[in-house]
Amino acid sequence: MLKSEELINKVKSYNKFLNPETLTKAYDFALKAHKAQKRDEGVPYIAHPIAVADILSDLKLDSATIATGLLHDTLEDTKTTYKTVEKEFGKEVADLVEGVTKISELEGDIIKNSKAENIRKLILATSKDIRVLLVKLADRLHNMRTLNSITDKDRRIRIAKETMEIYAPLSDRMGMNH
């Protein structure tokens, strides 16, 4: 698992305007928010947001997007509110985190009832900022990398199918198929 300093140094290597305090604060905030949670593979949950932030830093994205990667599950999986994220990290990051959360909520509601192409269009239409999609794609990539740790075979198949039908074509259209 990438430490806060390692993530900051990685981002500093391509972003000379980085404010390291923001990323440190987001890292620590996510660590505290997910403190009692575990992933299916039994590791502390924080490993997932850190891995998402690492993927985003591989893409050399801005610090607001990387902070969003660290915070992307706080609204959905913890007691953290939009107002708290906005107060601590500003409206830009709060809106990005909320956008990722909305896509996650859409997944569950519409996957069963719609064709993949309609879902892709809906996700694109509801994303006001392309960075929301980048965070969601990084989130899905990490989830796919750890898919074998999910013991429920039907859930694994559902996640893999969603990825192939929705997220892989979206990443391809965005030129991110690698």
Which long-range contacts (C-beta less than 8 Å, at least 24 apart) are formed by 89-92? 89/22, 89/25, 89/26, 89/29, 92/64
Q: Cα–Cα distance between 45 and 35 in angstroms, integer? A: 8
Residue 76 is among the residues annotated as catalytic for this protein: yes
Q: Cα–Cα distance between 27 and 33 in angstroms, integer? A: 10
Q: Cα–Cα distance between 74 and 21 in angstroms, integer? A: 19
Amino acid at 103: I
Is 162 exposed, middle or buried (CB count within 10 Å of its CB: 0-12, 13-18, 19+)?
A: middle
Residue 41 is among the residues annotated as catalytic for this protein: no
Q: Which of 21, 40, 54, 77 is catalytic?
A: 77
Query: Taking phi first (over 0 means left), then psi (-120 to 50 degrees means alpha), and beta for anything else, what does residue 90 get?
Result: left
Q: Which of 62, 76, 107, 162 is catalytic?
A: 76
The answer to whether residues 68 and 74 touch, using CB atoms and an 8 Å cutoff, is no
Structure tokens at 23: 């990323």
Radius of gyration of the chain (CA): 16
Catalytic residues: 76-77
